[in-house]
Structure 1
Amino acid sequence: MSTSRPPKALDRVLIVRLSALGDVVLSSGLIPALLSQWPAARITWLVEAPAAPLLKHNPRLHEVIVLPTAHWKSLWREGKRLQALREIWRFRASLRAARFDLVIDPQGLLKSGLMAWFTGAPRRVNLKPRESSQYLMHESVRPALPAAGELPIVAHEYRDLAVYLGADSSSYRMDLAVGELALQQARSRLKDAKVGPKYAVLAAFTTRPQKHWIESHWAGLADGLIAQGLTPLLLGGPADLTAAQRIAASHDGILNLVGQFKLDETVAVINDAALLVGVDTGLTHMAIALNIPSVALFGSTTPYLRGPDARTQVLYERLDCSPCNRKPTCNGRYDCMRQLDVARVLRAAAEVQQASKT
Structure 2
Amino acid sequence: MREPSETGAGERILVVGPSWVGDMVMAQSLFMTLKARYPGCRIAVMAPAWSLPILERMAEVDEGVALDVGHGEFGWHTRHRVARALRGRFDRAIVLPRSWKSALVPFLARIPQRIGFTGEQRYGVLNDRRRLDKAVLDQTVKRFVALGLPAEKAVKGNFPIPRPHLAVDADNLAELRGVHGLSTRPGIGMMPGAEYGPAKQWPLAHFRALAKALVAEGFAVRVLGGPGDSEAGETIARGLGHVHNLCGRTRLADAVDLLADCRQVVTNDSGLMHVAAAAGTWVHALYGSSSPAYTPPLTDSADIHTLALECSPCFARTCPLGHTRCLTELSPERLLTAVLDAERHLAVEN
TM-score range, shorter chain: 0.7 to 0.9
Quickly say closer, same or farther: Cα 1:308–1:237, change in 2 above 3 A.
closer
Instruction: State the TM-score, normalized to the length of structure 1.
Output: 0.82
**Contact 1:293/1:311 (8 A) holds in 2:** yes
Q: Name the structure with the higher helix share.
A: 1
Give the equivalent residue in structure 2 for 1:81: none
**Contact 1:296/1:313 (8 A) holds in 2:** yes
Instruction: State the TM-score, normalized to the length of structure 2.
Output: 0.84
**Contact 2:276/2:283 (8 A) holds in 1:** yes
Q: 2:221 aligns with which of 222, 232, 256?
A: 232
Quickly say closer, same or farther: Cα 1:309–1:9, change in 2 above 3 A.
closer
| 1:133-170 deviation per Cα after TM superposition (whole angstroms, max 9, x unaligned) | 465321225255369xxxx7783433444455669844
Give the equivalent residue in structure 1 for 2:232: 243
1:56 positional shift = 2.3
Q: What secondary structure sits across from 2:222 in the alignment?
A: strand
State yes or no: 1:221 paired with 2:219. no
Quickly say closer, same or farther: Cα 1:340–1:160, change in 2 above 3 A.
farther
Give the equivalent residue in structure 2 for 1:320: 310
Bigger mean CA offset, 318-327 vs 101-110:
318-327
Q: Which amino acid in 2 is paired with 1:188?
A: G
Bigger mean CA offset, 31-40 vs 245-254:
245-254
Once residues 44 and 309 of structure 1 are traced to their aligned partners in structure 2, the CA distance between those partners, rounded to angstroms, is 25
Listed as ranges, the matches of 1:22-61 within 5 Å are 22-61=22-61
Quickly say closer, same or farther: Cα 1:30–1:88, change in 2 above 3 A.
closer
Quickly say closer, same or farther: Cα 1:277–1:153, change in 2 above 3 A.
farther
Q: 2:108 aligns with which of 112, 118, 121?
A: 118
Q: 2:86 aligns with which of 95, 100, 104?
A: 95
**Contact 2:273/2:297 (8 A) holds in 1:** no
C-alpha RMSD of the superposition: 3.2
Q: What secondary structure sits across from 1:94 in the alignment?
A: helix
Q: 1:259 aligns with which of 248, 253, 261?
A: 248
Q: What secondary structure sits across from 1:69 in the alignment?
A: coil
State yes or no: 1:155 paired with 2:141. yes
State yes or no: 1:200 paired with 2:200. no
1:200 positional shift = 0.6
Percentage of matched positions with identical amino acids: 25
Listed as ranges, the matches of 1:279-358 within 5 Å are 279-302=268-291, 304=293, 306-326=296-316, 328-356=318-346, 358=349
1:250 positional shift = 6.8
Bigger mean CA offset, 273-282 vs 56-65:
56-65
1:261 positional shift = 0.9
Quickly say closer, same or farther: Cα 1:334–1:155, change in 2 above 3 A.
same
1:294 positional shift = 0.3
Number of positions where the alignment pairs a residue of Structure 1 with one of Structure 2: 338
Once residues 268 and 32 of structure 1 are traced to their aligned partners in structure 2, the CA distance between those partners, rounded to angstroms, is 21
Q: Which amino acid in 1 is paired with 2:6?
A: K
Once residues 157 and 16 of structure 1 are traced to their aligned partners in structure 2, the CA distance between those partners, rounded to angstroms, is 14
